[in-house]
Structures are given as structure tokens and as C-alpha cells.
Amino acid sequence: MPDRVVVYVDAENTRMGARNAFFYREAHFTDGQFDPLAIGDLLVQRAPGDFDRELMQVRMYLGRPDARKHPKNYRAHMSQCAAWESAGVHVAWRPLRYPPDFPASKPQEKGIDVQLAVDLVTHAVSRYFDVAIVVSTDTDLRPALEWVALRTSPGPRVELAAWKSPTSNRRIHVEAPRRIWCHWLDLDDYKAVRDPTDYTRAQRS
């Protein structure tokens, strides 16, 4: 039986990571976007060794704009999430937190890393996956990654994925008896999973 793989994606962290790794100031606002299923398929194909794997699910974690405070962003966000969900992607969201001086200051994601971490640990305990691949460089996820790596052996395993370029090669460093495998994704990989859709226009089609 092939190993069941679930991919956990910190959506905004991954999008901004791609922008920082592969684009510059003149980047279009769609640069950094990616197709969740395409990145899931790519990661399953990159299994270390001769492991036989099957992609079971891709889970996207992200903040949701306020429909009244940020109507244009909200509509584009909902259009993008609808496209993901229609393709079979699980979308987990939490409302963005807006500062008192918005729009002078930008809204912030709150609780996304906690939700991802809780799901990762809960799913490991329930044996929801054989392999979890976490796509993020957020170090707040380290305790959850270490728990899965240390407490569930020889059960479910956890791996990482991160963008790599001459200017960016960040990953989460986890304290575990064995080094956690990291899938390094370069510019060619990004081009293979890129999503150029302008969701501000897609919402009106």
C-alpha cells in the first residue's frame, strides 16, 4: 500500500516566500500565487528514496479579509477559495485582525499557525496520514513538528517544503534524532505550480 500523504500549506507564508525568492519590486500582484494541488502532486513525486506515495489531501491555511472593511480583497479571496475547494482542496481560514488605524496599517493573520499545528498533531494521533508535508517557514510551527517527529515514531512521519533561490533558502530547523527531510523547491518548480489567475477579475466572470 502506498503511503498516504497530506500536505499542510501556510498559504500566505508560502506565497510571500515565493515572491521573496523569485521576484523583485516590479513583481505583479499575482506573482507568488500557486496551485495547491499542483504543489501537492509535485511533492508526492519528490518522495525521498523509493517510497511509494499517494496524495490524499492538500490543506490550505489562511486569513480571510473582512467583507465590510476590505470588500474587494474579500471578493477576490472568496473567488480563490472557491476555485481551490472545487478542485478538492480543504480550506481552513481565520478572520484577519484589523488594526485601529486601518488602512494606514495592514491587517494581520492571527491563529493560522496555531490552527495548522493543532490539525497536524491531531491528525498524527488519529493516524489520518502516513506522511505529512508542511509547506511553511514559520518557526512557530516547530513545537508541533518536533512532537510529531519525536512522539509518533515509528508511526506517521513529517517532512517540510520550502522555496530555494540564490537569495532565499530558509527552512524550519527541527530538533529531532533524525534530520527531517526538506523538499527544496526552486524557480523551475515554482513555474510548474504557478497560478497566474487574477482573482479580482475572476470574481466577475
- How many domains does one find in the chain? 1
pLDDT in tens, 140-181: 999 999 999 887 667 799 999 999 999 888 899 887 766 789
Q: Which of 13, 6, 22 is nearest to 138 (CA)?
A: 13
**pLDDT tens sequence across 37-69:** 999 999 999 888 778 999 999 999 999 999 999
Q: What is the CATH number of the domain that holds 77?
A: 3.40.50.1010
pLDDT tens digits, one per residue of 70-82: 999 999 999 999 9
Q: Are 35 and 58 in contact (CB under 8 A)?
A: no
End-to-end, the C-alpha distance of the chain in Å comes to: 43
Segment 119-140 shows an average pLDDT of: 96
Mean pLDDT, the chain, integer: 92
pLDDT given at position 205: 44
Q: Which domain holds residue 192?
A: 3-202
Instruction: Note if the pTM is more than 0.75.
Output: yes
- DSSP 8-state class, residue 154: T
Query: Which uninterrupted H or E stretch holds 193?
Result: helix 187-193
